Structure formats: structure tokens, C-alpha cells
Amino acid sequence: MATLTTPTGNAMPNQKYAEELIQNARAIVAPGKGILAADESTGTVGKRLASIGVENDESARRNLRELLFTSPQIEDYISGVILFEETLYQDGNDGVPFVKLLQSKNIIPGIKVDKGVIVLPGTDGETETQGIDDLGKRCAKYYEAGARFAKWRAVLKISETCPSDLAIHQNAYGLARYAAICQENGLVPIVEPEILSDGTHGIEKCAAVTEKVLSAVYKALSDHHVLLEGTLLKPNMVLSGAEAEQADIRSAAFLTARALSRTVPPAVPGIVFLSGGQSEETATAHLTAMNQIEDINKPWALSFSFGRALQASALKTWGGKTENLKAAQDAFIARARANGEATLGKGDVEAKGESLYVKDYKY
């Protein structure tokens, strides 16, 4: 009798991790749960720590991640955590490895595997992502360390000349190569073609570009024989440019869901949105509104993979002070709970807060 894993159809033949990949991808997008993106590079987390007057050293980075990972009830709302390489091999202050801590809570550890972006020659400052050359070896090493999914961020921008066909092609096929290599080594690939919100463009422009980019990405994934059931998509939401007047929450949610319904195959188990510098409240409101839509077919789970939109309040509340630990954890869990409920279509779609937008944002 045929199953999801046999026969494989167009997907990679002899995929020894197929069942595990499918199982883990589904677990990450379980109802009411989503991903905590805690994969900021040493430089980026340093900026976060500097904002609260804390020096960027290993101890401070450990304390911040430990604050999040040990929050009571985190496992009720967080199914996976994306780690930076340092954190994957780091122990908590009690000597317990962070990977084991997460696993003890049935939270799946993941790992950022790209090495940042470089300028793509022949374009108007567009970029492609580095890290393919030794990716297979690194994925095997990360799997051995306990990681079960990975993230690779491709970055595109909107302007009068962008994104170019060249940038779309290079980034789509880079994502596909990454995804195939991850699956060969047992890691569920999160496919992240982020279209930056920088600019003055309107929401219809973002919708059109998002559809074009996602169509190219899924063509590339098919060409590379990627097992779609063992992948997740991490896209931008369809929004106006950060410097333009913003559409209302429900309109943005509708256009986002419509773009996805036109481009993302139903074989994909889930879509985990990036927040893209929205305020904590607005990112959650958009996710809630998308899950409330009834007149667009949504065969995949719609969930979250938020960094700033889960951590900002907790970081500000903590301020690097031990006496603020519980209050900071409460702030983090409040955001995690709100986003977990948003995956079920529950919550306030009119909520607003302070924007976390950073132009040309880098992890």
C-alpha cells in the first residue's frame, strides 16, 4: 500500500529520513504552537543587549537564551527553537545543554545554517546567500548534536528595478539546493525567501512580487526533488512598504493568504511567518486575521517563526537584571501565548504596538 513516503514520486528517491522529516515538520506546526527564532548572530544579539546596557559576552548571551528556554509553560506554545551555532553547543548555567533542555520539554531544536548574504554581481545591490559549499558536512554535524530542522534566509527587495529575474532565480535555486542537502542529512528545511519591507511601495506591489518569488521557489524545489511534506515555508507577510501608508489588518491578511493559496502546494504542512519588524501586537494580529479567513482555501497550518516579535518585551523587561527574570519570562510567555492563540484564529485583530522595523535588517 502506498504511503506518503513510498513511492516517492518526484521527490528524492531512497530518502532514508523521509518519515522522520514529515513527522518533525508536522510537529513544528502543531495547532496552537510555533517557532521561537533565537538564531541571532553574535553581532545582532550584541545590538539587542546593548539596547538594555548589557555587554555582549558569552555569559550574557547564555543568560538571555536561558531566560527564554526556561520560561514556565514555554512548551505549551513553542514547538521549535531556531538556534545559532554557539547556542546549539552551549550549556545553561546549571550545566545542562540547551539542546537537552529543549528536548526535555518536547521542543524541537533547529539551527541557522546560512552564512549571510553577499552582493550579487550584475544587479542593483541585490544579494544571494552564502553557505552551500560545506553545508552537507555541517548538517550532518548539527543532526548529531540534536538539531532536527534548519533555516536558510534568502533576501530580496522591492524597488523600481528589483527584484530582478536574476536575483529571484539565484535565491530560489539557492534555497532549493539548501533544502535538498538538509533533507539528505535528516533536517527539515525551513525555506525563507524574505522580501524586505524597506521602501514606499504599496501592498498590491508586495502581493505581486511575493507571488512571483514563491512561484519561482516552488519550481526550484521541484527541480531539486525536495520532499515537500518534509519542509516548512517562512515567508514575509504581504504588507505595504515600511515607509508607505499601511493597509488595514484584515486586508493585509487576505492578500497574504491569497498570495499563498496561488503559489504554495498543499503538500507543504505549514507556513511559519517572519515578523519583519512589525510590532509584537501587529504581527500577532495579522496572524490571527489570516487564520480567521474562511473564503480562501488554506490547506497548510499558518503559524509563526518570530524573533523580535516574541522577545522585545521580555528583553526590555529583563534589562540584564536577575531580579527582573520572572517578570521578563512572564512577558515572553504572554507573547508566546498570544501567538499560539493566533494560530487558532483567536485574538485581537485591532491590536497595535511599537514598530520593531530596522531598515535592511540583518541577522
| Residue-level pLDDT at 357 | 47
- Give 289-300 pLDDT, tens digit per residue: 999 999 999 999
| Residue-level pLDDT at 356 | 57
Model's pTM, two decimal places? 0.95
Element containing residue 313 per DSSP (H, E): helix 308-318
| Residue-level pLDDT at 354 | 62
Residue 8 binned pLDDT confidence (cut-offs 50, 70, 90): confident
Mapped onto helix, strand or coil, the DSSP state of residue 251 is helix
| Residue-level pLDDT at 279 | 92
- Give 185-221 pLDDT, tens digit per residue: 999 999 999 999 999 999 999 999 999 999 999 999 9
Task: State yes or no: pLDDT of 179 exceeds 90.
Answer: yes
Q: What is the mean pLDDT of the chain?
A: 95
Q: What percent of the chain has pLDDT above 70? A: 95
- Give 48-70 pLDDT, tens digit per residue: 999 999 999 999 999 999 999 99
| Residue-level pLDDT at 207 | 98
Catalytic residues: 192, 234
Average pLDDT over residues 253-266: 98
Average pLDDT over residues 74-100: 98
| Residue-level pLDDT at 150 | 98
